[in-house]
Amino acid sequence: MTETGCSEVAMSDGVRGIFEAQRAFFASGATLDVPFRVRKLMALREAILQEEKRICAAIRADLGKSEFEACATETGLVLAEIALALKYLGRWTKPRPVPVPLNQFPTRGCVHPTPKGLVLVVSPWNYPFQLAASPLVSALAAGNCVILKPSELAGATSSIFAGLVRSCFKPEHIGVVEGDAQASSVLLALPFDHIFFTGSSRVGRIVMESAAKNLTPVTLELGGKSPCFVCADANLPSAAKRIAWGKFLNAGQSCIAPDHVLVHESVKNDFIQELSKALLSFYGPDPSRSPDYGRIVDNRNFRRLETMLGDGRPLIGGHSDLATRYIAPTVLDNVREGSPLLTEEIFGPILPVYGFGDMSEVQGRIRRLPRPLAVYVFTKDLRLANRFVREIPCGGACINDTVVQFANPDLPFGGLGASGMGSCHGKAGFDTFTHFKSVARTPAAFDLPVKYPPYGGKIRWLKIFR
Q: Mean pLDDT, consecutive 10-residue segments, the chain of 466 residues? A: 54 88 97 98 98 98 97 97 98 96 88 98 98 98 98 97 97 95 93 97 95 97 94 97 98 97 96 98 97 97 96 96 98 93 94 89 76 95 91 94 95 94 97 97 86 85 77
| Single-letter amino acid code for the residue at 272 | I
Q: Which CATH superfamily is domain 8-222+417-439 in?
A: Aldehyde Dehydrogenase; Chain A, domain 1 (3.40.605.10)
- Give yes or no: 46 in active site: no
Q: Which residues contact 421 (CB under 8 A, 6 or more apart)?
A: 218, 219, 220, 414, 415
Q: Give the span between the Cα atoms of 187 and 182, in whole angstroms.
A: 9
- Give yes or no: 69 in active site: no
pLDDT value at position 361?
Answer: 75
Inter-residue contact 218 to 194 (CB < 8 Å) = yes
Q: Give the span between the Cα atoms of 383 and 303, in whole angstroms.
A: 43
Q: Give the span between the Cα atoms of 62 and 74, in whole angstroms.
A: 13
pLDDT value at position 426?
Answer: 96
Q: 8-222+417-439 with 227-407: one CATH topology?
A: no
Q: Give the span between the Cα atoms of 377 and 246, in whole angstroms.
A: 13
pLDDT value at position 388?
Answer: 86
Q: Give the span between the Cα atoms of 350 and 370, in whole angstroms.
A: 20
CB atoms within 10 A of CB 84: 21
Inter-residue contact 331 to 275 (CB < 8 Å) = yes
Q: Which residues contact 344 (CB under 8 A, 6 or more apart)?
A: 225
Residue 24, H or E segment? helix 3-27
Q: Classify 263 as helix, strand or coil.
A: strand
C-alpha 239, offset from chain centre: 25
Catalytic residue among 71, 168, 255, 394: 255
- At 346, give phi and psi (nearest 5°): -75, -50
Strand partners, 108: 441
Inter-residue contact 271 to 353 (CB < 8 Å) = yes
Catalytic residue among 51, 69, 74, 221: 221
Q: Give the span between the Cα atoms of 157 and 337, in whole angstroms.
A: 39
Q: Which CATH superfamily is domain 227-407 in?
A: Aldehyde Dehydrogenase; Chain A, domain 2 (3.40.309.10)
The candidate with the shortest Cα–Cα distance to 34, out of 92, 83, 74, is 92
pLDDT value at position 410?
Answer: 94
| Single-letter amino acid code for the residue at 103 | N
Q: Classify 333 as helix, strand or coil.
A: strand
Residue 53, H or E segment? helix 34-63
Q: What is the CA radius of gyration of the chain?
A: 25
Indicate the domain borders of the chain.
8-222+417-439, 227-407
Strand partners, 352: 332
Q: Give the span between the Cα atoms of 200 and 351, in whole angstroms.
A: 19
Q: Give the span between the Cα atoms of 146 and 148, in whole angstroms.
A: 6
Torsion of CA 201, 207, 209, 210, to 10 degrees: 170
pLDDT value at position 8?
Answer: 61
CB atoms within 10 A of CB 292: 16
Angle at 133 (CA atoms; ends 129, 134), nearest 5 degrees: 115
CB atoms within 10 A of CB 377: 26
